[in-house]
Each structure stands twice: as C-alpha cells, then as structure tokens.
Amino acid sequence: MQKILGWLVLSVAALAGGLAGAHGSATANHGGIVQTSGETWLELVVKGDTLQLYLQDDGDDMPTAGISGKLTLVKGAARSEFTLKPAGGNLLEAKAPGAVKGSKVLAVLTLDDKKTKVSTTFEIK
C-alpha cells in the first residue's frame, strides 16, 4: 500500500510541475532584460539614448496602441522621468539619455482600458 501511495504522490507531483510551466517562460526576443508582471512580459532594450520596451501578454505580442506609460531612470540619488510612446507593434520607446550600466529603470504603464496598471523595475547590466 505504501508503494502505491508513494507512486501516486510522485505522479501527481510530476504532473503538477508540468502544468506550472505550461504557459512558457519569458524570453528576451530582442536581446534585452525581461521582467514579468502578472501575465505581462516586459523586455527593456537600451539603444544609445533610446529605451525600448517590448510587451507581450503571456508570450503573444501585445499591441501598444492606446498604452501610455513612463520610465524613471535612477542613477545613484539622481532621478529622471521619460514618457513612453507607442512605436508600432508591441514596442514603446522613450528618449532617455544617461541610461548606463548600473542604472535602474522603473516602468509604469497604463493599459488601453485606462484602468489596469503594470509596473516593474529593471537593472541595466
């Protein structure tokens, strides 16, 4: 009886582990830094003085039309805020001079329903 119970517990644990990862994991499709906030995946890419933020909803590109947001760049005690603007597809962009290694970037978005907020923090490496 104990053997059957042991196998049953192991089988359930194996199945539960497979279901937990069923939605996939967030991946950096553009060479940036990825963070998740609920089912929203955010990928920050630094290109010179421009910060790009790619959005996905559980792995599917999330259109940025109607999404607003801001980035706060933190370097030591200094803070600078930049407005994100839709740049087509699932991309938001902001001109943000001074984004260097070691800086932190706080992203706060308001989705197109004008009620839902998404936020996360990145560290530029």
Amino acid at 83: T
pTM of the full structure: 0.79
pLDDT of residue 1: 53
CA distance 89 to 86: 8
Mean per-residue pLDDT, 91-120: 95
CB 40 within 8 A of CB 32: no
- 19 pLDDT above the threshold of 50: no
Domain enclosing residue 16, as ranges: 2-123
Percentage with pLDDT > 70 across the chain: 81
Residue among 46, 93, 44 at smallest CA distance from 67: 93
Q: Is 95 helix (H, G, I), strand (E, B) or coil?
A: strand
Percentage with pLDDT > 90 across the chain: 71
CATH number at residue 105: 2.60.40
CA distance 113 to 25: 25
> Which residue has 């600078």 as its token pair?
80
Query: Number of structural domains, the chain?
Result: 1
The backbone torsions φ and ψ at residue 97, rounded to the nearest 5 degrees and listed phi first, read -60, 140
pLDDT of residue 43: 97
pLDDT in tens, 57-74: 988 999 999 999 999 999
